[in-house]
Amino acid sequence: MSTENEGNEGTGAESASSVPSAPPVPADAPQAHPQDAPPVASHPDATETRQQPVHPAPEQQAAAPSPAPEQTAAFPTTPQYAPPPPPQSAADAGWPPPPPAFPAYAHGAHGGGNGPVWGPPGGTHAPDAPRKRGAGGLVAAVVVAALVAGGIGGALGFWAADRNDDSGSTTVSASANPQDLKRDPGTVAGVAAKALPSVVTIEAQGGDGEGGTGTGFVYDKEGHILTNNHVVASAADSGQLTATFSNGKKYDAEVVGRAQGYDVAVIKLKNPPQSLTPLPLGNSDQVAVGDSTIAIGAPFGLSNTVTTGIVSAKNRPVASGDAGGGSNSYMSALQTDASINPGNSGGPLLSSGGAVIGINSAIQSTGSSGQSQAGSIGLGFAIPINQAKTVAQQLIKTGQPVYPVIGATVTMDEKSGGAVISDRGTGGTDAVTKDGPAAKAGLRAGDVITKFNDTPIDSGPTLIGEIWTHKPGDRVTLTYERDGKSATAEVTLGQRKGDS
């Protein structure tokens, strides 16, 4: 929006003033010298003074006054003054005067009219001489009555405005009632107000100076904080960790355990406060597409940022890793369009009721150039809280994660139409582990797994993400293709401890 006063520039000389631009001139004002004034176009009012108007004698009013000609001549730069007229009696002056043809301010843009100036008379007048009633007198009486009525109305209006407007402002103040400032628990503001005190901004710095900023949230009253592995990985061995709450209080922390494949980590405050309030954990299996979501975190270091969206999709296969590609993780994620950016990692994804349904972990972006970080395009992914809770319990109990496995190595090609069991395993070992779950179910190298229970499988990462949503010992059904034929196999999931 422009701050210029549009339409005013260059129009001042064209708009008519509502009142004369100069005050009345006293009767004894000095006269202008003829030689100092420029020639003036002939006009009966060109040298009129701004005193009370001089009116013709009664005998001159017999004839109806002709309309005053429209003033077209320019005003002289130096005003000319005429000597004051000699005193006249009321009878000679013909008081009251006939109504003017137009108000004094009707001529020109600079108050150069030739009628009487509206307002009270300038002096005391003698009683009116008797005169014959006629149309002129009636019109004058009507005009006087109108002026008096207008004056009364204007005075009353000013009096009322003066009494009702002490500050000169017409704005209306909002209620200062504290009840009006409270937010209902089900609103975004209500959920955020309750959750923010349990969310922390994590700063991790490794021994080599490398590090970054992420988010976490209170998991229990003992001071455990749940976050992402990639948030704390740089400080896991010989680095420094701090957690800052929304009230600004900062605490030192240490890594309890981390799971690279799940991208989950647990840290613990070294001297936790007694007033810790864990966030309630929801059930991510019961989430529906379209449910409202609230994300809290520190995008680009901006702590305590709250954004909103919906659950855009469920069971979205996501493979993520660090910039070097050495820390890959796989998840069957909740997808949300709530704005998630670097620094949101490890923060809670909440339901509309304030329960944690996921841990914000990854984003899909259009790419980045140079050293700049990519930002949100509405494609964010969160680890389902049911899976993260299981991993957190393992890390708190043993310090290392436990992964469910099928006992077979699959290719990581994402465009194979399924998860293909490799010809050879890691380090030249067999692709199908002897006496492992897959071997016991009859699976062989070259088989293409196309379905895990009822979930379609289009690649190796998708299969791993689905397996890791379960626990060791769970029994699942695999659909696979061999030599162009489809078959199924019942598999009891095995386990692997720790990251290898």
Active site residues: 230, 263, 345
Determine the 3-state secondary structure of 474 from DSSP. Answer: coil
Determine the 3-state secondary structure of 166 from DSSP. Answer: coil
d(CA 417, CA 67): 99
Whose CA is closest to 335, among 317, 312, 351? 312
The answer to whether the CB of 199 falls within 8 A of the CB of 246 is yes
The answer to whether the CB of 316 falls within 8 A of the CB of 335 is yes
Place of tokens 């210029």: 4
d(CA 406, CA 415): 21
d(CA 494, CA 475): 10
d(CA 13, CA 127): 44
DSSP letters of 353-376? TS-EEEEEEEE--S---TTPPP--
d(CA 97, CA 246): 81
Whose CA is closest to 116, among 64, 52, 58, 57? 52
The answer to whether the CB of 214 falls within 8 A of the CB of 227 is yes
Tokens (6 digits) for 271: 């001297």
Name, in order, each residue with C-beta under 8 angstroms of 189's C-beta and a sequence gap of 6 or more: 183
Q: Which amino acid is at 464?
A: I
d(CA 304, CA 72): 71
Q: Which amino acid is at 156?
A: L
Residue 396 burial by CB count (10 A; 0-12/13-18/19+): exposed, middle or buried?
Answer: middle
Whose CA is closest to 91, among 60, 57, 123, 122? 57
Beta bridge partners of 243: 202, 251
φ, ψ (nearest 5 deg) of residue 455: -95, 125
The answer to whether the CB of 37 falls within 8 A of the CB of 80 is yes
d(CA 393, CA 224): 11
